[in-house]
Structure 1
Amino acid sequence: MKFDLHTHHFRCGHADDIIEAYIQAAIGAGLGVIGISDHSPYFASEHDQPQPGIAMARSDFANYIAEVLQLKAKYEGKIDVLLGVESDFYPEHAQLYKDIYAKYPFDYIIGSVHQTRGVSIFNRNRWKGLPPAKQIEEKRHYYELIGQSAASGMFQVLGHIDAMKGYYPAFSDISANDAVDEALSMIASSGVAIEINTSAKLKDAEEWYPSDAILERALHFGVQVTFGSDSHVPSRVGDEWDAVAQRLREIGFKQWVYFNQKQPVVVSL
């Protein structure tokens, strides 16, 4: 059973095409399950769509839900369409987001840390001139937020948990292994899964999220894993699924999961 839980479409402002195109691409790629998980609105902002090139408008969120549910019914028997969303994690706004999500029948919610200290994790300039001690502090803070996101009870999946390496590959070499292990321990205790996300190859890192080293530690702690292409074009749906499955087997994983009605569905590797 092939599945992909991480896809985007035109509403977020930086992905191409309509939701149905991703579903059709998933069928063409031989998937049995496709998750729709566009970027959630910035619910804490007073503006409807403060960053139209990053996340959907708050006023369009109900339309997004309705469209996915309509397509879920349309494609029943052909492919299992899951209702998801990729949510930013802001500790100070967690309850607001949680209350909004509770209104809708999500199959899963991906929690992603996209900013730390108000700066995008993909901003190359954040690392310029930072001494080693400060780099370690920033990496620790990032994994503290990831640990908090796991413990929040808001999410079934955590997105791209070493995405800071996307445009700064040296991030992987910053010494903060104890912080990574603490986050993985919290993730394991929470029952949340981490995704193997194949989109990092499109960035400077040129490899999947997370690194093999983190996946080996995740196995040690008993963390569940899942798959997400993070596709922003339909042609990337399910991208490198077989290669990821093979690598997970080599590392020692025996299974991975997807989520239906927020319950894990185990798929053997």
Structure 2
Amino acid sequence: MKFDLHTHHYRCGHADGDIRDYIEAGIREGLSVIGISDHMPHLFSPLDHPSPAITMSRLELGAYVEEVLRLKKEYEGRIDVLLGIESDYFIDHERVYREAIERYPFDYVIGSVHISSGKSIFDRSRWEGLTPEIMIEAKKEYYRLIEASARSGMFQILGHIDAMKGYFPDFSAIPADEAVESALKTIGELGLAIEVNTSGGTKTCGGWYPSDAILERALHYGVSISFGSDAHKPSRVGEDFEAVADKLREIGFKEWVYVKERKPVSVAL
């Protein structure tokens, strides 16, 4: 069976189409399960919508939940529509996000680190002029945040865990194996999943998140794997699902998971 747990829509300010468009795309792609997981508002700000090109507004969150639940009922029997959300992880603002997550009946929450050391992980200029030593510390800090996000207990899936390579492909070669291993060990011990996210193919790195090397270590630590296209336009729903499945089998995985009602559901590869 096919599933895709990472999709966005117009509310986040940088995606095309409405939720129905993504559900219909999922049906065309032969998906049995589609998760809607738009960007959680930046709740640490007193403003309703401090980041209109990045997340939905605080006032839209309730309407988003209601729309997904309504469409879930409408499409019952054709495709299983899951209510998800992608939440940034801010280590200094856990409480406000935890309260928001528990306020709604999310099937799952994807926890993603988009800001590390005060800068976007996709900031093309963040690596300019840095010494190798500083690059190593930047990578370690990124994985410290990912490990902290796992320990927070707020998330069932961790999103695109090497997305820092998106516009800096040399990121993968920065030697910080101990930090990566520590994060994966914690994720495995806590029974969480990481996603294979195929949106990396739209970035400079030209490949999925995470790398094959990270997936091999994830297998070693018993980390569950999920799938997300991270589609920001309906045409990308389910993108490369079969190719990812082939790669996971090659590495040695026997199954992967989607998450419903906060619990993993295993699917044989």
**TM-score scaled to structure 2, two decimals?**
0.99
Where does residue 48 of structure 1 map in the other structure?
48
Query: In the aligned structure 2, how far is the partner of 1:228 from the partner of 1:132?
Result: 32
Where does residue 14 of structure 2 map in the other structure?
14
Superposed CA deviations along residues 126-154 of structure 1, whole A, max 9, x for unmatched, are 10010000000000000000000011100
The answer to whether structure 1 residue 211 and structure 2 residue 233 are counterparts is no
Mapping for residues 25-44 of structure 1, pairs under 5 Å: 25-44=25-44
Paired letter, 1:116 = S
Report the secondary structure of 2:108's partner residue.
coil
Per-residue deviation, 1:189: 1.1
Per-residue deviation, 1:82: 0.2
Query: In the aligned structure 2, how far is the partner of 1:189 from the partner of 1:90?
Result: 22
Where does residue 122 of structure 2 map in the other structure?
122
Query: In the aligned structure 1, how far is the partner of 2:211 from the partner of 2:157?
Result: 17
Where does residue 235 of structure 1 map in the other structure?
235
Report the secondary structure of 2:167's partner residue.
coil
Query: In the aligned structure 2, how far is the partner of 1:63 from the partner of 1:40?
Result: 13
Superposed CA deviations along residues 63-104 of structure 1, whole A, max 9, x for unmatched, are 000000000000000000000000000011111101111011
Per-residue deviation, 1:212: 0.2
Superposed CA deviations along residues 44-70 of structure 1, whole A, max 9, x for unmatched, are 101111110000000000000000000
Mapping for residues 1-269 of structure 1, pairs under 5 Å: 1-269=1-269
Q: Identity over the aligned pairs, expressed in percent?
A: 60
Paired letter, 1:34 = I
**TM-score scaled to structure 1, two decimals?**
0.99
CA-based RMSD: 0.5
Query: In the aligned structure 2, how far is the partner of 1:46 from the partner of 1:95?
Result: 15
Report the secondary structure of 1:47's partner residue.
coil
Report the secondary structure of 2:155's partner residue.
coil
Paired letter, 1:223 = V
Report the secondary structure of 1:109's partner residue.
strand
Paired letter, 2:151 = A
Q: Which runs of 5+ in 2 are unaligned?
A: none
Query: In the aligned structure 2, how far is the partner of 1:66 from the partner of 1:259?
Result: 19
Query: In the aligned structure 1, how far is the partner of 2:191 from the partner of 2:154?
Result: 11
Paired letter, 1:167 = Y
Query: In the aligned structure 1, how far is the partner of 2:191 from the partner of 2:75?
Result: 30
| Preserved CA contact (<8 Å) 2:117 2:138 | no
Deviates more, 1:97-106 or 1:27-36: 97-106
Per-residue deviation, 1:181: 0.1
Q: Which runs of 5+ in 1 are unaligned?
A: none
Per-residue deviation, 1:191: 1.1
| Preserved CA contact (<8 Å) 2:117 2:141 | no
| Preserved CA contact (<8 Å) 2:121 2:164 | yes
Per-residue deviation, 1:117: 2.0
Query: In the aligned structure 2, how far is the partner of 1:190 from the partner of 1:84?
Result: 20
Report the secondary structure of 2:103's partner residue.
coil
